[in-house]
C-alpha cells in the first residue's frame, strides 16, 4: 500500500482514534543518508554517520510531523482557527495544513528576522501573517495570551500533539537502522524537537524495539544559547534565524533529555555553522538551512574535543531539520557570486580552462 503520512504509519503510537480526521500532506518517511565524506571532513572518518533529511518533508521542515497531528486533533475538536509564533518553519507548516483543511491560520513572526522562503510559504498558503516589532520570544508570549482568551488553537510545540507527531522521526531512524544511533546531534531552539525525539526513543525502548538509547546532543548558536548559558537571553543573535530564541518553552524537557541520555548541549559559532552548511552542500550534495547545519557543526566540535570518539566507529545521526531553499539569501551570502561572462564561446572557454 502506498505511504500515507506519519499518522497512518505510526497510528498505534499516537493519540488518535477512528474519529480523528487525518489531515496529512504525506509528511515523514524522510531519507536517512550515509555521509562518509562528511565524516572525514569532521575528522572522524570511521564514524558511521547518517543525515536525517527532514527538509524533504512537504513544507521543507520537520514541523510537518507535528503539524499533521496538531491540526488533525484541532479539527477533531472543531477548532475554526489556529495561531502560532514562529521563526518561519512552524508558520509555513501551519499555513499549509490549515489551507488543506480550510481553517484560519494566524501567524506572528519577528519582524525582519525570518528567511524569505518561509515567509513566502506562509503568505502563499493564505495565513494572516503579522510581522511584529519584537523577537520570537515576544511573539510566543503574545500568541499564548491570545489563545488563552480567544477560541484559537495554539500550534506551537507547547501543544502536546506537536511533540507526539515529531517523535515519529525517532521511530523512522530505528525502523531503518534496526537500533538507535549511539549519538544524535540536533539543533535546539524552542526545544520542542529534542523533547520529541527523546520521547520517541523512550517509547520504542519500552516496546522492546531497542536495547540502547542514544546520547542526545543538542546544539545552540553561540549568540542564542540560553540553555548552555543557564539563563534566558533577551536579545538572541545568530544567522541561523530558525533557532534565534532566547527563552525556550521546552527548556526543562531539553535538559531532562540531555541528562537522562548522558548527552550534552553545547554552542557553535555562526562561522562554524556556515562552514558546516557549505561542507554539507559541497561534499554530500545536501542543501540544508543554517540552523540544521548547526547539528554537523556541533558534531565537529565534539569530535575535536573527544579524540577517542573521533577515532571510533560509533553510529551517529545528525538531524537536518530544514531545507536549504528556505533561506536563499544566506546561501548567496556564503559563497562566491557567479561570474558574469559575455555570451561568447571564446570568452566562456577562456573562463572554464577545460584543457
Least distance in Å: CB of 61 to ligand F0G?
5
For the sheet containing 104-110, what is the strand order?
Answer: 128-132, 104-110, 81-85, 153-154
Contact between 72 and 20 under an 8 Å Cβ cutoff? The reply is yes
Least distance in Å: CB of 319 to ligand F0G?
8
CB atoms within 10 A of CB 23: 23
Burial 194-209 (b: 16+ CB within 10 A, else e): bbbbbbbbbbbeeeee
Residue 193 in the binding site for ligand F0G (CB under 6 A): yes
Beta bridge partners of 154: 83
Least distance in Å: CB of 35 to ligand F0G?
18
Q: 193 or 315: whose CB is closer to ligand F0G?
A: 193
Least distance in Å: CB of 138 to ligand F0G?
13
Query: Could you tell me which of 257, 331, 255 has the C-alpha nearest to residue 292?
Result: 331
Residue 297 in the binding site for ligand F0G (CB under 6 A): no
Least distance in Å: CB of 292 to ligand F0G?
5
- 33-72 positions binding ligand F0G, by CB under 6 A: 61, 63
Which among 69-77, 88-96, 229-237, 272-280 is the span making contact with ligand F0G, rule CB under 6 A? 88-96
C-alpha distances in angstroms, 164 versus 176, 257, 316? 20, 15, 23
DSSP of 11-54, one letter per residue? GGGSS--TTS----S------EEE-HHHHHHHT-TTSEEEEEEG
Helix (H, G, I), strand (E, B) or coil at 75: helix
C-alpha distances in angstroms, 260 versus 129, 267, 324? 39, 20, 32
Which among 13-21, 145-153, 274-282, 284-292 is the span making contact with ligand F0G, rule CB under 6 A? 284-292
Residue 318 in the binding site for ligand F0G (CB under 6 A): no
Q: Which three cell numbers stand for residue 310?
A: 573521533
- 94-153 positions binding ligand F0G, by CB under 6 A: none
Q: 194 or 310: whose CB is closer to ligand F0G?
A: 194
Q: Which three cell numbers stand for residue 277?
A: 552548511
Q: 53 or 310: whose CB is closer to ligand F0G?
A: 53
Residue 243 in the binding site for ligand F0G (CB under 6 A): yes
Least distance in Å: CB of 48 to ligand F0G?
23
Cα–Cα distance measured from residue 139 to residue 36, given in angstroms and rounded to the nearest whole number: 40
Residue 263 in the binding site for ligand F0G (CB under 6 A): no
Least distance in Å: CB of 198 to ligand F0G?
12
- Out of 68, 157, 238, 267, the residue judged to bind ligand F0G by CB under 6 A: 157
Q: 45 or 264: whose CB is closer to ligand F0G?
A: 264
Residue corresponding to grid cell 495570551: 145
Q: Which three cell numbers stand for residue 91?
A: 508558520
Q: Which three cell numbers stand for residue 333?
A: 551570502
The site that binds ligand F0G (CB under 6 A) totals a number of residues, namely 22
For the sheet containing 183-187, what is the strand order?
Answer: 32-34, 48-53, 315-320, 183-187, 215-221, 264-268
Least distance in Å: CB of 88 to ligand F0G?
5
- 321-340 positions binding ligand F0G, by CB under 6 A: 321-322
Beta bridge partners of 129: 107
Q: 117 or 181: whose CB is closer to ligand F0G?
A: 117
Least distance in Å: CB of 38 to ligand F0G?
18
Q: Which residues bind ligand F0G (CB under 6 A)?
A: 61, 63, 86-90, 157, 187-193, 242-243, 289, 291-292, 321-322
Amino acid at each position: 500500500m502506498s505511504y500515507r503520512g506519519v499518522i497512518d504509519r505510526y497510528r498505534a503510537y499516537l493519540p488518535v482514534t477512528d474519529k480523528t480526521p487525518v489531515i496529512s500532506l504525506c509528511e515523514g518517511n524522510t531519507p536517512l543518508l550515509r555521509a562518509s565524506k562528511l565524516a572525514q571532513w569532521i575528522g572522524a572518518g570511521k564514524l558511521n554517520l547518517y543525515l536525517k533529511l527532514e527538509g524533504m518533508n512537504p513544507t521543507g521542515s520537520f514541523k510537518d510531523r507535528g503539524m499533521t497531528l496538531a491540526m488533525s486533533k484541532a479539527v477533531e475538536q472543531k477548532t475554526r482557527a489556529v495561531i502560532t509564533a514562529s521563526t518561519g518553519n512552524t508558520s509555513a507548516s501551519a499555513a499549509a495544513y490549515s489551507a488543506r483543511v480550510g481553517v484560519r491560520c494566524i501567524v506572528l513572526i519577528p519582524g525582519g528576522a525570518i528567511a524569505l522562503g518561509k515567509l513566502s510559504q506562509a503568505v502563499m498558503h493564505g495565513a494572516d501573517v503579522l510581522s511584529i516589532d519584537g523577537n520570537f520570544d515576544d511573539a510566543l508570549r503574545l500568541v499564548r495570551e491570545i489563545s488563552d482568551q480567544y477560541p484559537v488553537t495554539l500550534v506551537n510545540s507547547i501543544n502536546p500533539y506537536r511533540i507526539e507527531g515529531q517523535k515519529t522521526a525517532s521511530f523512522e531512524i530505528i525502523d531503518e537502522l534496526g537500533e538507535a544511533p549511539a549519538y544524535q546531534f540536533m539543533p535546539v531552539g524552542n526545544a520542542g524537537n529534542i523533547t520529541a525525539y527523546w520521547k520517541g526513543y523512550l517509547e520504542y525502548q519500552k516496546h522492546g524495539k531497542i536495547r540502547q538509547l542514544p546520547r542526545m546532543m543538542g546544539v545552540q548558536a553561540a549568540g542564542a544559547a540560553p540553555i548552555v548559558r543557564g539563563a534566558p537571553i533577551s536579545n538572541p543573535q545568530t544567522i541561523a534565524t530558525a533557532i534565534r530564541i532566547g527563552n525556550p518553552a521546552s527548556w526543562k524537557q531539553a535538559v531532562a533529555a540531555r541528562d537522562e541520555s548522558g548527552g550534552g548541549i553545547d554552542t557553535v559559532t555562526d562561522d562554524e555553522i556556515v562552514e558546516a552548511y557549505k561542507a554539507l552542500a559541497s561534499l554530500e550534495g545536501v542543501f540544508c538551512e543554517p540552523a540544521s547545519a548547526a547539528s554537523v557543526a556541533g558534531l565537529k566540535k565534539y569530535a575535536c574535543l573527544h579524540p577517542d570518539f573521533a577515532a571510533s566507529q560509533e553510529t551517529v545521526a545528525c538531524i537536518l531539520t530544514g531545507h536549504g531553499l528556505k533561506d536563499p539569501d544566506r546561501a548567496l551570502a556564503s559563497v562566491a557570486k557567479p561570474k558574469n561572462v559575455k555570451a561568447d564561446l571564446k570568452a566562456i572557454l577562456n573562463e572554464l580552462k577545460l584543457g
